[in-house]
Amino acid sequence: MKLLVVDDDPQILDALTVGFQLQWPESEVIAAQDGEAGLEAFYAHDPDVVVLDVAMPKKNGFEVLQEMRRISDVPVIMLTARGEETDQVRGLELGADDYVVKPFSHLMLLARIKAVLRRAEMPPPLEAMPDFVAGDLAINFRDHQVTLDGEPAKLTPVEYRLLYHLVRNVGRVMPHQTLLDRVWGEDAVATTNHLKVFISRLRSKIEKKDGPRLIETERGLGYRFVRPPRSPAE
C-alpha cells in the first residue's frame, strides 16, 4: 500500500512516516512538504490514500484536493490546525473523506485511515448506471471505468484525464493550452505535440474503425468531443 503525506511540518512528516511503517511494514510512505510537491507525488506514485494538510505554501490543501478530485476518488484525509466548522465543511464539500484537527493522536489517525480504506473497498451498487454515454462508449466517473461495447477500455492515467476533460465539456472546443494545463498541470513541459500523440492514442482506444469520430480536431484551436447521432432503435 502507498500512502502520500503532504504537510509542511517536517516533524509531522517524520512521525507519520514512522507510525505508518510500524503499523503497515510493507507500506510505502511518500512525503511532500508543499502543495505543488504533493501534486507531483500524487501523479507520479498513484497512492492508495492521501493525508493532506490545509495550510501549506505554494498550493493550500483545498487547492490540492480540487486538483486530485478532477481525476481521482482516492481516499483523502485533511489535516489542519484550525478547528473551525466552516473549514471542515469546505474540505468535505470539495471531496475529502475525513477531517482531523491538529493536534491529533497518531493511533486515531491510523484508525481513520483504516476506516476510509474500508469504505473505499466497498463495491459500487450493482444497479449503478454509467455517468456518461456516447454511442457504445460509457464512462463511470466514480471508479474511472471506461467501456466500449461493454468491454473495458484500458486507458492510462493521462489518457483518462484527457477523456475526462473532453467529455465534461462535450460539444465545446477545448483549447490546446487548457487541455495541457488541466491534464499535465500548469507548470508541466508538455507541448501541443504531446497532446497530439495522446489524442491519437485515445482515439485508437475509444473509437471504432468503422464508427463515428468522437474526438474532432479544430485545426489551430483544440479538440472537441461529440456524441454520435442516435440510431432509430435507440
Is 140:163 a contact under the CB 8 Å cutoff?
Answer: no
Local confidence band at 217 (pLDDT 50, 70, 90 cut-offs): very high
The CA distance from 231 to 84, in Å, is: 54
100-126 pLDDT, tens digit per residue, is 888 777 788 888 888 887 776 644 444
State residue 223's pLDDT score: 96
Closest to 41 measured CA to CA, from 12, 11, 6, 1:
6
Answer with the residue of higher pLDDT: 19 or 33: 33
Question: What percentage of the chain reaches a pLDDT higher than 90?
Answer: 24
User: Which of 37-41, 81-85, 108-112, 227-231: highest mean pLDDT?
Assistant: 37-41
Local confidence band at 225 (pLDDT 50, 70, 90 cut-offs): very high
Rg of the chain over all Cα atoms, to the nearest angstrom: 20
- DSSP 8-state assignment for residue 153: P
User: Which of 19-33, 36-50, 76-90: highest mean pLDDT?
Assistant: 36-50
- Mean pLDDT computed over 134-140: 90
Is 162:183 a contact under the CB 8 Å cutoff?
Answer: yes
| Full set of structural domains in the chain with CATH | 2-121 (3.40.50.2300), 132-225 (1.10.10.10)
Burial class (CB in 10 A: 0-12, 13-18, 19+), 234: exposed
Closest to 91 measured CA to CA, from 108, 79, 109:
79
Closest to 120 measured CA to CA, from 74, 52, 51, 77:
74
State residue 210's pLDDT score: 80
Kindly report the pTM of this predicted structure. 0.53
The CA distance from 43 to 24, in Å, is: 23
Please say if the pLDDT value at position 83 is more than 80: no
Please say if the pLDDT value at position 127 is more than 80: no
**If you average pLDDT over every residue of the chain, what do you get?**
83
Helix (H, G, I), strand (E, B) or coil at 164: helix
State residue 85's pLDDT score: 65
159-215 pLDDT, tens digit per residue, is 898 999 999 899 999 999 999 888 887 666 678 888 888 899 899 999 988 878 899
Local confidence band at 84 (pLDDT 50, 70, 90 cut-offs): low
Please say if the pLDDT value at position 140 is more than 60: yes
Closest to 212 measured CA to CA, from 156, 145, 154, 137:
137
Please say if the pLDDT value at position 234 is more than 50: no
State residue 91's pLDDT score: 78
The CA distance from 167 to 155, in Å, is: 15
Alpha-helical regions (H) of 24-155? 35-45, 61-69, 85-93, 106-121
